[in-house]
């Protein structure tokens, strides 16, 4: 399998030079293969979320480089990085981060709006995604009226609206019971079957012990426990 | 020193702008020395972040520099009633020896700032900072000019005292006087007019040609520079008498006054903007060989050439309108 994402010697330091300086990621090098499900596993504070933010180009490292295929991401000026992030990555957050006043459909359309596509086409695409994940009947419901499981599926639909190659999910089952966590893993299986690359940060055994997962990378104190490939 | 809101704004802007550009030039030197795009070191990542900040600050400072040139001339004009003998900005600028050098330095800084902003904008078209070195080397040259312009500007404001007796534009831009203004006024009007329309027309044709074919960038730059020089001289020797309808009045500043419908502002703005856009096309063709600019830069240059043609064409049309509607023509 070819490496889709390659991280070299990534470091992420918060509050650098201050007394409360924290080094969340300490010289991590790793490769993520295309079309696989990779889980970053580790206790709270191990640096999973920080590493995920770096891999998804949501944050810039303090040092180190990230390559997306042949293209180096970390040095890109903000405009190019934003374009790359929009085009390549879809995000599912722990709290789902749906906008409460908007409907489920509008939430799904949201990441595609800056790309300037016609709204009617976007609404159709959003509807199709909601249908795919079994929440089409809730398309007009406000996000704050959705149940946990519905909100999660809407969040996944939103992550897919720009047809990204990579889905990044940060503790996606942390707020769900075991039944809904299982549903989430079924969705992961569907996405994997459609060729998406999925990176999940989780300390939920239902996630990292799932047979759908191709690779589990353990983190502790900002470092990988597994040697870099 | 005469204090007015405009003077305070200009002095404050000059000091802040010079400090920003001076500081940015120092940062630029640091970036130039440490820049190593192949490295993922903490130092390099920090420099990549810093260059975005430096660019933003310089864009703001130089954007103000462009506006400040017009505010400076407007303020010089507005201060004229304070000085015995002054009728317009020409007299105010003469009221202290720093006035004309300050104006020339500000004009040079505005042109250089315009070119730097074009290079900075083109740098942003590439994903790998393709014009970073050129941009900061230019900034190292530009910063002393901005600082000098600010210094002379503040020195001029500080040297202004209401009891000073100065000269009016009638004597400064008189055919029989002495100095650069008088020499410009003494140019044969027909020749000055022919040079103005010839140079501007040439630049417009070169700009339209570049926009169509993508060729002749350096010719366009040279003709745009020539158009700027010929037109500034032509404003004194040729355009002014037609606007004032008085063959002996050659002042390039009275054009900015209400009696003449502030026609000087659109004339100078279109001339300066069009010339800088035209020169920018040539400058970018000299600098922009990077691979990441191969597709984006030519379309940016064509847009700039279109802008140059539009602005210089508007300038020529305004001049033609001023001449054709003048009572002096009959």
3-state secondary structure chain B: CCCCHHHHHHHHHHHHHHHHHHHHHHHHHHHHHHCCCCCCCHHHHHHHHHHHHHHHHHHHHHHHHHHHHHHHHHHHHHHHHHCECCCCHHHHHHCCCCHHHHHHHHHHHHHHHHHHHHHHHHHCCCCCCCCHHHHHHHHHHHHHHHHHHHHHHHHHHHHCCCCCECCCHHHHCCCCCCCHHHHHHCCCHHHHHHHHHHHHHHHHHHHHHHHHHCCCHHHHHHHHHHHHHHHHHHHHHHHHHHHHCCCCCCCCCHHHCHHHCCCHHHHHHHHHHHHHHHHHHHHHHHHCCCHHHCCHHHHHHHHHHHHHHHHHHHHHHHHHHHHHCCCCCC
Q: Is A11 on the interface with B (CB under 8 A)?
A: yes
Q: For the CA atoms of chain B, what is the radius of gyration?
A: 21
Looking at residue A57, its pLDDT comes to 93
Nearest CA in chain A to B47: A75
Instruction: Give the model's confidence band at B167: pLDDT under 50 very low, under 70 low, under 90 confident, else very high.
Output: confident
Q: Is A79 on the interface with B (CB under 8 A)?
A: yes
Residues of A in contact with B41 (CB under 8 A): 63
Indicate if the pLDDT at residue A228 is higher than 60.
no
Looking at residue B324, its pLDDT comes to 93
Instruction: Give the model's confidence band at B84: pLDDT under 50 very low, under 70 low, under 90 confident, else very high.
Output: confident
Percent of chain A residues past pLDDT 70, beyond the cut: 98
Interface contact A60-B127, CB threshold 8 A:
no
Q: Is A21 on the interface with B (CB under 8 A)?
A: no
CA distances (Å), origin B223, targets A122, A194, B201, B206, B234: 49, 59, 9, 8, 15
* Residue from B34, B35, B41, B45 whose CB has the most chain A CBs within 10 Å, to mutate: B45
Interface contact A9-B42, CB threshold 8 A:
no
- A62 closest CB neighbour out of B45, B52, B127: B45
Indicate if the pLDDT at residue A227 is higher than 60.
no
Entry field: residues in chain B: 330
Helix (H) or strand (E) holding A107: helix A104-109
Contact B145, B107 (CB under 8 A): no
Interface contact A63-B42, CB threshold 8 A:
yes
**Average pLDDT rounded to a whole number, residues B248-277:** 92
Q: Is A9 on the interface with B (CB under 8 A)?
A: yes
Among candidate residues B269, B266, B77, B247, the one with its CA nearest the CA of residue B173: B247
pLDDT in tens, A35-61: 999 999 999 899 999 999 999 999 999
Looking at residue A179, its pLDDT comes to 83
pLDDT in tens, A30-39: 999 999 999 9
Indicate if the pLDDT at residue B329 is higher than 80.
no
Nearest CA in chain B to A67: B40
Closest approach of chain A CAs to the CA of B43, in angstroms?
Answer: 8
Q: How far apart are CA B309 and CA A88, in angstroms?
A: 40
pLDDT in tens, B199-216: 999 999 999 999 999 999
Looking at residue B187, its pLDDT comes to 84
Indicate if the pLDDT at residue A2 is higher than 80.
no
Q: What is the pTM of this model?
A: 0.86
Interface contact B45-A63, CB threshold 8 A:
yes
Percent of chain B residues past pLDDT 90, beyond the cut: 68
CB contacts under 8 A, B 35-74 vs A, are 37, 40-42, 44-45, 48-49, 52
Nearest CA in chain B to A74: B45
Residues of A in contact with B124 (CB under 8 A): 77, 79
- B124 closest CB neighbour out of A61, A74, A79: A79
């Amino acid at each position: 399998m070819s490496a889709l994402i390659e991280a070299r010697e990534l470091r992420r330091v918060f509050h650098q030079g201050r007394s409360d300086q924290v080094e969340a990621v300490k010289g991590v090098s790793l490769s993520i293969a295309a079309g696989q499900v990779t889980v970053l596993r580790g206790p709270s504070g191990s640096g999973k979320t920080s590493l995920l933010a770096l891999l998804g180009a949501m944050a810039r490292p303090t040092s180190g480089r990230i390559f997306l295929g042949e293209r180096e991401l970390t040095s890109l000026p903000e405009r190019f990085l934003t374009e790359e992030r929009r085009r390549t990555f879809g995000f599912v957050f722990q709290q789902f981060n749906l906008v409460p006043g908007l409907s489920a459909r509008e939430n799904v359309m949201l990441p595609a709006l800056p790309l300037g596509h016609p709204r009617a086409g976007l609404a159709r695409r959003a509807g199709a995604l909601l249908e795919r994940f079994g929440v089409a009947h809730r398309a007009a419901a406000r996000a704050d009226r959705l149940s946990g499981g519905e909100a999660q599926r809407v969040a996944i639909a939103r992550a897919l609206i720009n047809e990204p190659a990579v889905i990044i999910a940060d503790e996606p089952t942390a707020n769900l019971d075991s039944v809904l966590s299982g549903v989430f893993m079924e969705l992961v299986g569907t996405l994997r079957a459609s060729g998406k690359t999925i990176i999940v940060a989780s300390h939920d055994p239902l996630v990292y012990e799932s047979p759908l997962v191709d690779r589990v990378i353990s983190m502790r104190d900002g470092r990988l426990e597994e040697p870099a490939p | 020193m005469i204090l007015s809101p405009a003077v305070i704004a200009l002095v404050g802007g000059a000091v802040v702008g010079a400090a920003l550009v001076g500081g940015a030039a120092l940062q630029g030197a640091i970036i130039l020395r440490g820049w190593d795009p192949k490295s993922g070191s903490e130092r390099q990542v920090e420099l990549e972040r810093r260059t975005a900040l430096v660019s933003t600050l310089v864009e703001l400072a130089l954007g103000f520099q462009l506006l400040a040139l017009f505010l400076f001339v407007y303020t010089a004009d507005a201060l004229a009633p304070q000085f015995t003998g002054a009728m317009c900005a020409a007299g105010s600028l003469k009221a202290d020896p720093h006035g004309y050098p300050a104006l020339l330095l500000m004009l040079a800084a505005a042109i250089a700032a315009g070119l730097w902003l074009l290079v900075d904008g083109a740098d942003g078209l590439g994903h790998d900072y393709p014009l970073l070195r050129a941009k900061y080397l230019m900034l190292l040259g530009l910063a002393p000019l901005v600082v000098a312009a600010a210094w002379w500007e503040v020195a001029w404001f500080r040297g202004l005292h209401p009891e000073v007796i100065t000269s009016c534009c009638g004597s400064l831009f008189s055919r029989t006087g002495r100095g650069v203004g008088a020499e410009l006024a003494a140019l044969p009007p027909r020749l000055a007019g022919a040079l103005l329309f010839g140079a501007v027309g040439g630049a417009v044709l070169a700009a339209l040609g570049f926009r169509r074919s993508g060729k002749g960038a350096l010719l366009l730059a040279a003709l745009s520079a020539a158009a700027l020089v010929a037109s500034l001289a032509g404003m004194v020797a040729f355009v002014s008498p037609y606007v004032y309808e008085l063959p002996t009045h050659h002042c390039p500043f009275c054009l900015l006054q209400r009696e003449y419908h502030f026609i000087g502002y659109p004339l100078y703005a279109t001339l300066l903007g069009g010339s800088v856009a035209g020169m920018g096309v040539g400058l970018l063709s000299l600098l922009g060989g990077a691979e990441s600019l191969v597709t984006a830069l030519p379309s940016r240059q064509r847009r700039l050439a279109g802008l140059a043609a539009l602005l210089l064409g508007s300038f020529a049309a305004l001049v033609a309108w001023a001449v054709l509607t003048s009572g002096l023509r009959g």
